[in-house]
Structure 1
Amino acid sequence: MTPTPVSPEPGTTDSLILHTTDNAVLWITLNRPAALNALTWDQRERVIALLCDASADPDVRAVVLTATGKGFCAGADLRGGPGGGEGQAAGGSGPGDGDGQAEDGGEQAGTRSESEGPQDRARPPERVVGDVARMLRRGAQRLVAAVLDCEKPVLAAVNGTAAGLGAHLALACDLVLAAESATFIEVFARRGLVPDGGGAYLLPRLVGPQRAKELLFFGDAVTAAEAQRLGLVNRVVPDAGLEKATRDWAERLAAGPTRAFALTKQLVNASLDGDRGAAFAAEAAAQEINMTTVDAREGVASFVERRRPTYRGR
């Protein structure tokens, strides 16, 4: 949607994950359209790093996650790990899967044909108990946590299919705008797998446990309109209007009280995980911290002086 001001070398991670800051908004664009933007491990690490850097950068006051082509993100590229091994047991999608077409078979699932010998492909090391859990903690869960923990508002602009981990990447964002052609698919049960990337954590909080089970058990494609009805997305807009709608919201967020947004995000994200006493204590602590910021003083002063506030993100 929004190109970078530089032209990175084709095939490099910087060309597959575009990023630019415009009007205090960091735009992160997945740019692997031929694979429906399925994420390889190095792309995932780049997105995580950009989100972490955004938290500490005072010149970034909002973040947009979007993609090029017809897909937002078809999940984890099962062939994209270091040495080809990472992800072969993961529940992410792969090219050709997120759009409802037949799933990739042997290579994506880490299997081999009977005729393939040792000379054709090096065998991965034998997997031991704990390897899969460790892989998920270091991979898909870190990616989703980076979105949830980012200290700036993160807005997803879902331009097409969001499947598996790609759906969870979008749903972890603070706000979600979807093009009319977008779809959301929980692909895990199709492979006999449980959801990863925080799916069983995110979905019940958005739609309730029974609806979450329906989505996870059946793995049916959910249209953008149905996703909005269920509460998975905030707004659905025409495909041609997605960039403008995203820019409008992102720039409103970037003009707001950045630290207050960060503290509010923390409170809301934690609100379903603890009891009322813990939530009230966290709220009081957040208010105490926020009242030390420049923006809080500006907000109060503008109210007293009956003028529009000018927030600086500090």
Structure 2
Amino acid sequence: MMSSGRMQRYGLLLFFGFGALIAMPWVLGGYTLRLLTESIIFSLYAVSYNMLLGYAGLLSFGHAMFFGVGAFATTVALEHIAGLPLLLAVTMATAFTALVGLVVGILLLRVKGTPFALLTLAFNALFFSIGIKWTAVTGGDDGAIVNVPDINIGLIRLNLFDGPTVYFVTLAVVGSVIAFCWYFTRTAMGQSVLLIRENEERMRFLGYNTHVSRLILFVFSGSLAGLAGAFYAVLHGFVSLDAVSIAMTTKVLLMTFIGGIGHFVGPVLGAVFYTYFQNFISELTDSWPLIMGVLFIAMVLWTPGGLAGMIQSAAAWIAGRKASDGAPAEER
């Protein structure tokens, strides 16, 4: 159990962190605030991927198909259903992505390991091909414009073309969903998936239907990626085929590995770091993908725990030094 002192420290950290996020529109410029909004969206995308890889042990090369489906489904819903509220369109897109995840999961989860990873890559290529051919929905190579309506809250109308407004809406909705994901990992269902990854035979012996548990997590993870894609479409007001490309899967894989697989906060750190660092180096050189690739290799080889693991190790080292300094001389 966590000590009261440690709980107080975590409470203070959470309080000041939340206060800092609330203050950001008054601290950051318009472009930097937009990057922060995008990093919040990518945080959810990376958290969804980490739940699939870090908790279920399922390496996927096709996670972008859910991200892209959520983005395009939101675009289609807003374009073809007159007067549809934005949050309802996002909800419908997320539900549709969950349905797609259910169908794909039933087909994919018959296999594990390398065959699963390769099949996810094949499905992502299939969805990308559909996006190229189905120009009436996706716009093909030209992409599709998202008609983002205002959000009506009684007497107040929120214009999402305003930077602080879209930031606060994204922070409220996406932040709440990320918090729910953290809670989910603490539930019996979340823990059972983790145990299935560690010893599937034992869990099956105890009476768990491991296939159904893995399917539930797959659908849940896909729907989260779809929600992230929906907000990505709202933020940019435009969706291109990049949203469902292999490059988008590579992006979330980099975020998750850099942040730290298996650590819940790791993908959030990785998403924020990737968004700002990629923006910084892309302004310096056109060879930024090479730099990101070298960084990824270095993290995998020397810091497999990612940024979260580095922070955890540093905190443990500091705590050890404090304990050593506070010990009596005869105990040293």
> Shorter-normalised TM-score: what interval?
under 0.3
Structure ranking higher in helix proportion:
2
Return the TM-score normalized by structure 2: 0.24
**TM (normalized to structure 1)?**
0.25
Higher relative CO (Cα under 8 Å, sequence separation at least 6) belongs to 2
Q: Higher strand fraction: Structure 1 or Structure 2?
A: 1
